[in-house]
């Protein structure tokens, strides 16, 4: 079985904030409160990454020729 590093949202968020993916997941699940600056920042970054991933999966809007 191939050992492949996961490129998931929690891992990306953890790398951005120099913390563990487990910490990020516990914040997202609600197991830990977001009452510190780090926790608030982690939650914000996680949500932004999810939004960006969602936008990448949407088809690009086409611009009519006459608009150019």
pLDDT digits (tens, 9 = 90+) for 29-58: 999 999 999 999 999 999 999 999 888 877
* % of the chain at pLDDT higher than 90: 65
Closest by CA to 42, choosing from 66, 61, 62, 22, is 22
d(CA 38, CA 58): 31
Average pLDDT, the chain: 85
DSSP letters spanning the chain: --------HHHHHHHHHTS-HHHHHHHHHTSS---SHHHHHHHHHHHHHHHHHHHHHSPPPPPPGGG-
Quote the pTM value. 0.73
């Amino acid at each position: 079985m191939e050992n492949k590093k996961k490129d998931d949202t929690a891992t990306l968020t953890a790398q951005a904030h120099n913390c563990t993916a487990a910490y990020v997941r516990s914040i997202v699940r609600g197991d830990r409160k977001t009452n510190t600056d780090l926790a608030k920042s982690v939650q914000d970054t996680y949500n932004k990454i999810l939004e960006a991933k969602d936008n990448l999966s949407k088809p690009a809007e086409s611009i009519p020729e006459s608009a150019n």
